[in-house]
């Protein structure tokens, strides 16, 4: 016996499945938040809102609403971390991987590396928010009391 509480078993299939599920949750809910924001602002819907650097800007009203959608998406992403990952120690790893894949997809979509300050500020803030809230939710679940039966056992 090693004396540790939980053994870490290397399971690449589980990690890949969790990553695919979390990435799917990220883009699905980002799309839903953007549709909601577009209904409020009466703006036209476009995939550019997800992946284009120019749409995330502080100057325009639509750019600010898109930023709000990204922030709301980080809240739902934290919920995904809580439901799928359920380990406080792994929240930063999975959240950073989701945002790294988003950076790569944006880079491929635009054909150039993101150079706008607003894009970086929004994504770093969303990464931090998703990580901290996901760790908080997972920590609360990990710290719940384990019920112990006090009654007498009859099947001895």
Integer-rounded Cα Rg, in Å, for the chain is 20
pTM, entire model: 0.84
Contact 72, 64 (CB under 8 A): no
Other beta carbons less than 10 A from residue 114's beta carbon: 16
CA distance 35 to 69: 9
| Residue at 76 is within a domain | yes
Is 154 among the domain residues? no
pLDDT tens-digit readout, 50-103 = 999 888 888 988 889 999 999 999 999 999 999 999 888 999 999 999 999 999
Number of domains within the chain: 1
Q: What is the pLDDT of residues 104-154, one digit of tens each?
A: 999 999 999 999 999 999 999 999 999 999 999 999 988 887 777 766 666
Question: Residue 146: inside a domain, yes or no?
Answer: no
Residue 63, domain extent? 53-141
pLDDT tens column, 29-65: 999 999 999 888 887 788 888 999 888 888 988 889 9
Question: Is 5 part of any domain?
Answer: no
Residue 109 lies in a domain: yes
Query: Which residues have C-beta within 8 Å of that of residue 52, sequence separation ≥ 6?
Result: 106, 109, 110
């Amino acid at each position: 016996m090693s004396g540790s509480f939980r053994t870490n078993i290397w399971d690449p299939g589980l990690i890949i499945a969790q990553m695919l599920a979390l990435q799917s949750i990220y883009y699905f809910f980002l799309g839903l938040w953007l549709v909601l924001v577009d209904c409020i602002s009466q703006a036209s819907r476009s995939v550019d809102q997800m992946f284009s650097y120019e749409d995330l800007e502080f100057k325009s009203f639509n750019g600010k609403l898109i930023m709000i959608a990204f922030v709301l998406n980080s809240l739902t992403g934290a919920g995904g971390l809580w439901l799928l990952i359920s380990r406080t120690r792994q929240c930063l790893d999975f959240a950073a991987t989701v945002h790294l894949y988003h950076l790569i997809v944006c880079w491929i979509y635009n054909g150039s590396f993101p150079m706008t300050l607003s894009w970086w500020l929004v994504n770093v803030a969303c990464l931090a928010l998703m990580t901290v809230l996901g760790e908080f939710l997972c920590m609360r679940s990990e710290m719940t009391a384990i019920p112990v039966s006090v009654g007498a056992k009859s099947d001895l």
